[in-house]
Amino acid sequence: MSDRRVVVTGMGVLACNGIDVPSFWDAISQGRHGIRTITTLDTALHETSFAGQVPLDNLTLVIGDKKNARRKDRFVHLALRAAAEAMAMSGLDFKNWKNPFRVATIVGSGIGGLTTIEEEAKVLAARGPSRVSPFLVPKMIVDSAAGDISIMYGAKGPNYCITTACATGSHCIGAAFHHIRHGQCDVAITGGSESPITHLGLAGFNSMGALSRRNSSPETASRPFDRERDGFVIGEGAGILIIEELEHARARGATIHAEIIGYGCTGDAFHETQPDPTGAGGIACMRMALEDARLNPEAIGYINAHGTSTKYNDSGETKVIKQVFGDYARSLMISSTKSMTGHTLGAAGGIEAIVSVLALKNGILPPTINYSTPDPECDLDYIPNTARAVRTEYALSNNLGFGGHNASLIFKRFGD
């Protein structure tokens, strides 16, 4: 086991309830959501008319070169803006890397440039192949966020994208954690970004019955663990972290927000979209993270759950938590902040890592909002509706993706 420790020195976030870390944390810690009726599409023919949209139009999102903004999909603009906040927070002098090959960029997206794909598919159908934009491919591919971030910051170390649906962001952070711990780099820009609120995105998730259809009350639609939950609320956003080897951070006097101490990843090998009802993959994933962190289960004070507000996930995740933590599960404080952000798919792991870090740092555990009717299958403490001022040492963040991808990260409070 390596002696190299990995810490968080920067964070950047965009979500429907906050366009930077201060506004996001303010909303999360006070139980404020950002779920609204969709404003950028005509949803008349869709079964769901609401989502968690980042309240910034495309041009406002762009940093730097506004004239060439059209050459990047929205999910890349979200990633770049979050990366800019994270980099500024870290205080790293990216224009003068001692060795740029020691700086990694591992940023993912579940779907990538869905807006671009839809637009160019229309061009193809209407005007033929010769009119498809030469920018289609670089705009739509899921690795373009990682590529563009590395270009912006001159980062030449390990550079790739992981795509594991809703576990994407967590897997990216875990991979970056490993690279630093194993000595292959000292700094990593990592997390996830997603912009799936398009006609195809809405239609596709609705066709499989995954989305809430609570159109009469969008603000209460994302209700993880509640008995009346009827599906997730699709969201967009980005969560990017700067993580760094501890001594590298200390040597430059960086502010350290938390430490990453464990990572687990497994597969269900069960179904394209449903979790294994036995929970074997999720159980093994959390146990792997705990073993990696060298922690007993009872050390964990807070779990930021995957908690999507779907029937299968929430009851399944509850069952898995009980298996891993035994009787101690009743003492755990668990919440799903997807109740406030919606489900941001590939960005969720990045955004929720930031929530976990801030929860530890500030001693405030965010709530699961819209919790009003207990479900006998979900009978743990989900911090219903109001945040709790509790100082805890260790937080675990779960994210699970279609295809049976499981990821768990463990963070430790730093300092004092």
Partner 1 sequence: MDRKRIREEVIEILANKLHKLPPPPPSWETEGEDEEPFDYDAQVIKPEITDNHLDIAEVAMDLEDAFGVNFEEALPGDAGMESIGKVIDYIQARIQTAHAKTAKKEDD
122 binds partner 1 (CB under 8 A): no
Catalytic annotation on 161?
no
Sign, CA dihedral 364-368-374-377, equals negative
Which of residues 131, 250, 252, 271 is near partner 1 by CB under 8 A? 131
Instruction: Tell me how far, at minimum, the Cβ of 134 lies from partner 1, in Å.
Output: 4
Q: Which stretch binds partner 1 (CB under 8 A): 17-25, 103-111, 129-137, 380-388?
A: 129-137
Number of residues engaging partner 1 in binding (CB under 8 A): 9
Instruction: Tell me how far, at minimum, the Cβ of 241 lies from partner 1, in Å.
Output: 31
Angle, alpha carbons 132-138-141 (nearest 5°): 105
Q: Which stretch binds partner 1 (CB under 8 A): 131-139, 180-188, 287-295, 365-373?
A: 131-139
272 Cβ contact list (under 8 Å, min separation 6): 402, 403
Catalytic annotation on 265?
no
Catalytic residue among 16, 166, 265, 378: 166
Catalytic annotation on 306?
yes
SS3 for 405?
strand
18 Cβ contact list (under 8 Å, min separation 6): 24, 25, 26, 27, 28, 34
149 Cβ contact list (under 8 Å, min separation 6): 79, 80, 83, 105, 107, 155, 189, 240
Residue (68 or 207) nearer to partner 1, CB: 68
151 binds partner 1 (CB under 8 A): no
Print burial letters for 15-53: b (CB count within 10 Å at least 16), e (below 16).
Answer: bbbbbbbeebbebbbebebbbbebeeeebeebebbbbbb
Q: Which stretch binds partner 1 (CB under 8 A): 26-34, 125-133, 194-202, 400-408?
A: 125-133
Angle, alpha carbons 316-177-313 (nearest 5°): 10
Instruction: Tell me how far, at minimum, the Cβ of 97 lies from partner 1, in Å.
Output: 25
Residue (137 or 251) nearer to partner 1, CB: 137
158 binds partner 1 (CB under 8 A): no
Residues that bind partner 1 (CB under 8 A): 67-68, 71, 130-131, 133-135, 138
Active centre residues (catalytic): 166, 306, 343
